[in-house]
Chain A
Amino acid sequence: MAKKILAVVLAVMLVLTSLAACGNKTNTDAENTLKIGVILVGDENEGYTYAHIKGIKDAAKSLGIADSNILWKYTVPEDQTCHDAAVDLVENGCELIFSNSYGHQDFMKAAAMEHPEVTFVAMTGDTAKASGLPNFCNAFTNVYESRYVSGVVAGMKIAELVADGKLTDANYEDGKVKVGYVGAHPYAEVVSGYTAFYLGIKSVYPDVMMKVSYTGSWFDIVKEGEAANAFLADGCVIIGQHADSTGAPAAVEAAAKNGTVAYSVGYNIDMLSVAPTVALTSATNNWSVYYTEAIKSFMDGNGVPTNWAKGYSEDAVAITDLGPACAEGTAEKVAEVEAALKDGSLNVFDTATFTVEGNVVTSAFATDTDGNFVPDADEAVFDGYYHESYFQSAPSFQLRIDGIVEE
């Protein structure tokens, strides 16, 4: 009997809540019926994609978009599957579709050509402007700014290690402290990132040199670990990374347990869980800033900006919490640098701070117009610095500056 009563009560509640939901719907504005499609290269188990999921959910929450109006496509590879997923989202009524990986771009563009009534955003992409399609956009954060700040954190640590006499001859090459950087691919995105990181270190401790190696994959725990181990064996004191796994920090942690003096700077996520004693910080993105702005602009009828790139000025980038291994005074220094980036008094690629083959850079192009991936238009060096992500949202800085060696 009790069960029956319970069932009746539950049924009544169900009806009431669904009525309430209906009531809600009629009250809300028309804009909340917007359906958004999301195509993700990974799922919530992978740091990079997780950051996007969180960004979209936060944006939806602040804009009052119901969860049921966001359609997700997880673990979509960078091939025809992406195009199929995009078309399927269109058929399900999505008016705004995001993809989060660079390799999705062409397939999103193909879908944009077929469906001019729907807006497609290829995050981290770089062909929207050149395509001339009004419904195809790119977006990226100025993550190089947070990489610069993470470099400052590393530089503080190096300065402390030198002052405390913790380094040996093996840690120096030609009188400069060695830093290692595990990169994924030799793209402008990575080059721009490691250069910013290096310049960040140099702004605190000038006598450094950095070695970069590429794993050929965005996510490969084993290869990233191996690359880090090679740097450690070579005597590198700081291991930075532009790859998505925890392979490198874990390798540094293991080496530190055996007495090696080395520290790790990560990417995307806080690395303290895998490297509690050696992780200093990680450069990271706050994607919700972009998603909120883009979706809101779309709902207001203004469309999505073709190229969007913002950094500290809008809090679209950040570094994760400082680890216990950080040098004294790091937090204060970080606050100072972040404030300078925010108000524009500090520019990461200030041409006074680096040289290429011994010369100060006075000219560098930002945009590739003929599709051979060598920039040939849009002079980016003016007002004393290279204007990164100024002409297009994706990073374009490809100069190989002095002090950094690619292996």
Chain B
Amino acid sequence: MNKNHEPLIRIAKRDAMVWWKAYLIRIVSVILALIVSAVVIFSITKLNPFAVYGSMYRGAFGTTGKTWNTIRDAMILLCISVGLAPAFKMRFWNIGAEGQILIGGLVTAACMMYFKSMPTVLLLIVMFVTSCIAGALWGLLPAIFKAKWNTNETLFTLMMNYVAIYLTSFFVDFWDKKQSHSVGIINLDTGKGWFPRLFGEQYILNVIIVVLLAAGMYFYLKISKHGYEIAVVGESENTARYAGINVKKVIIRTMLISGAICGIAGFVEVAGVSHTISTSTAGGRGFTAIIVAWLAKFNSLTMTLISFLLVFLDKGAAQIASDFNLNEYASEMVTGIILFFILGSEFFINYRLILRGKHKEVAAK
């Protein structure tokens, strides 16, 4: 059996030698990606690849404002990834983050509109709590059905996205008196319910909230009993049951947490960033965050790095487009190539690590 998989064994052997080799592979893959992109850039657009890379960097970190926008967007992506991490670690395919973000954002927007007379701090707390509850509810429903009747959570969470999207478009039209399919910026003149500036910066509160959540999740998954239960349920439900873990309870509890954090992401996006709500508020980031969580193997620190990388590529593409008068599709090819190589290398590395991880756990038990 093993002999049929010889290349895999070889890889595992190489990994057993040193840790840094995995990082070496990552770095090499990035370099390869840059070389391939350079060839593509030059052959299609006849532009100087180095100028293009410089422009990418400027797009993400060129000015103070841009750097903050990069941080802001990375924080939202990280927040969603942190929310997804426990669910996916449990092998619960929560592809419903989009809906959980939206519903969290929707109740936040509702609070901003209806509780204008509340003091700001109280309003922020109310928005935080309600968005938490809304997101948790969106996670809870599929979890209960999964736990009780073993329904397919992938389909269920996906369907919940559509429910959230249609609810959002209903309320947008309900609130919008001009039938323009947009609520505009909520409380633009008063700034009521908006995140306050801290230390003179607009997005400090976003960073604080998300960093706290990410740190909390790190310890929750790493050292808490809950975290251990999640890992065991993820590896094998039967093992978990044999070990006396209440699988149903773990599934429901974990999805409550997962949904709640995604709901908070919606709160941060609406109250702390855009101050508006629309069906594009989640903007596909609920799916992008799945990539982040998986690539990072649910490690908060790695998730932070990958969130920044993805946002960096996104901003870079937009900058290339405006600097060189390309349309955005052309510049997205560059980010596509880079992402492809990084994903490729990560997949390769992950695959090895999973193999080794299995051995390790067997040994540990």
Considering the chains assembled together, what is the distance between the CA atoms of A106 and B185 in angstroms? 6
Considering the chains assembled together, what is the distance between the CA atoms of A317 and B62 in angstroms? 41
B181 near A216: Cβ-Cβ < 8 Å: yes
Main SS of the interface on chain A?
mixed
**Is B184 on the interface with A (CB-CB < 8 A)?**
yes
Q: Residues of A contacting B188 with CB < 8 Å?
A: 106, 109-110, 113
A73 near B322: Cβ-Cβ < 8 Å: yes
Q: Residues of A contacting B297 with CB < 8 Å?
A: none
> Distance (Å) between the CB of B36 and the closest chain A CB?
26
> Distance (Å) between the CB of B192 and the closest chain A CB?
14
**Is B69 on the interface with A (CB-CB < 8 A)?**
yes
B180 near A103: Cβ-Cβ < 8 Å: yes
**Is A88 on the interface with B (CB-CB < 8 A)?**
yes
Q: Residues of B contacting A107 with CB < 8 Å?
A: 185
Within 8 A of A (CB), among B301-339: 321-322, 325, 327-328
Option from A71, A75, A79, A91 in Cβ contact (under 8 Å) with B280: A79
Contact A110 B325, CB 8 Å, known A87-B65, A88-B63, A373-B178: no
**Is A78 on the interface with B (CB-CB < 8 A)?**
yes
A74 near B327: Cβ-Cβ < 8 Å: yes
> Distance (Å) between the CB of B263 and the closest chain A CB?
19
Considering the chains assembled together, what is the distance between the CA atoms of A109 and B189 in angstroms? 9
Within 8 A of B (CB), among A107-121: 107, 109-110, 113
B278 near A79: Cβ-Cβ < 8 Å: yes
Main SS of the interface on chain B?
loop
**Is B66 on the interface with A (CB-CB < 8 A)?**
yes
A43 near B327: Cβ-Cβ < 8 Å: yes
Q: Residues of B contacting A187 with CB < 8 Å?
A: 178-180
Considering the chains assembled together, what is the distance between the CA atoms of A216 and B176 in angstroms? 14
A78 near B182: Cβ-Cβ < 8 Å: yes
A91 near B63: Cβ-Cβ < 8 Å: yes
Contact A102 B322, CB 8 Å, known A74-B327, A77-B280: no
A91 near B65: Cβ-Cβ < 8 Å: yes
> Distance (Å) between the CB of A332 and the closest chain B CB?
40
Chain B interfacial residues counted at CB < 8 A? 25
**Is A185 on the interface with B (CB-CB < 8 A)?**
yes
Q: Residues of A contacting B280 with CB < 8 Å?
A: 77, 79
B66 near A91: Cβ-Cβ < 8 Å: yes
Considering the chains assembled together, what is the distance between the CA atoms of A373 and B182 in angstroms? 13
B182 near A103: Cβ-Cβ < 8 Å: yes
> Distance (Å) between the CB of B317 and the closest chain A CB?
12
**Is A99 on the interface with B (CB-CB < 8 A)?**
no
Considering the chains assembled together, what is the distance between the CA atoms of A91 and B66 in angstroms? 9
- Closest residue of chain A to B269 (Cβ to Cβ) is A80
Chain A interfacial residues counted at CB < 8 A? 31
B185 near A373: Cβ-Cβ < 8 Å: no
Q: Residues of A contacting B360 with CB < 8 Å?
A: none
**Is B258 on the interface with A (CB-CB < 8 A)?**
no
A71 near B322: Cβ-Cβ < 8 Å: yes
Considering the chains assembled together, what is the distance between the CA atoms of A78 and B184 in angstroms? 9
Considering the chains assembled together, what is the distance between the CA atoms of A400 and B177 in angstroms? 18
**Is A186 on the interface with B (CB-CB < 8 A)?**
yes
**Is A281 on the interface with B (CB-CB < 8 A)?**
no
B181 near A185: Cβ-Cβ < 8 Å: yes
Considering the chains assembled together, what is the distance between the CA atoms of A49 and B6 in angstroms? 59
Contact A84 B185, CB 8 Å, known A74-B327, A103-B180: no
**Is B29 on the interface with A (CB-CB < 8 A)?**
no
- Closest residue of chain A to B176 (Cβ to Cβ) is A373
Option from B179, B184, B185 in Cβ contact (under 8 Å) with A186: B179
**Is B206 on the interface with A (CB-CB < 8 A)?**
no
Within 8 A of B (CB), among A57-94: 71-75, 77-80, 83-84, 87-88, 91-92
> Distance (Å) between the CB of A285 and the closest chain B CB?
20
Within 8 A of B (CB), among A323-382: 371-373
Q: Which 9 A-B pairs have the closest CB atoms?
A: A80-B274, A106-B184, A106-B185, A91-B63, A373-B178, A373-B177, A91-B65, A87-B65, A103-B182
Residues in B lying within 8 Å of A, measured CB to CB:
63-66, 69, 177-182, 184-185, 188, 273-276, 278, 280, 321-322, 325, 327-328
30 contacts between A and B (CB under 8 A): A71-B322, A72-B325, A73-B322, A78-B182, A79-B274, A79-B278, A80-B274, A80-B276, A83-B274, A87-B69, A88-B65, A88-B66, A91-B63, A91-B64, A91-B65, A91-B66, A92-B63, A102-B180, A103-B180, A105-B184, A106-B188, A107-B185, A110-B188, A113-B188, A185-B181, A186-B179, A187-B178, A187-B179, A372-B177, A373-B178
Contacts A83-B274, A185-B179 aside, 10 further interface pairs with beta carbons under 8 A come to: A73-B322, A79-B274, A88-B63, A103-B182, A106-B185, A107-B185, A109-B185, A186-B179, A216-B181, A373-B178
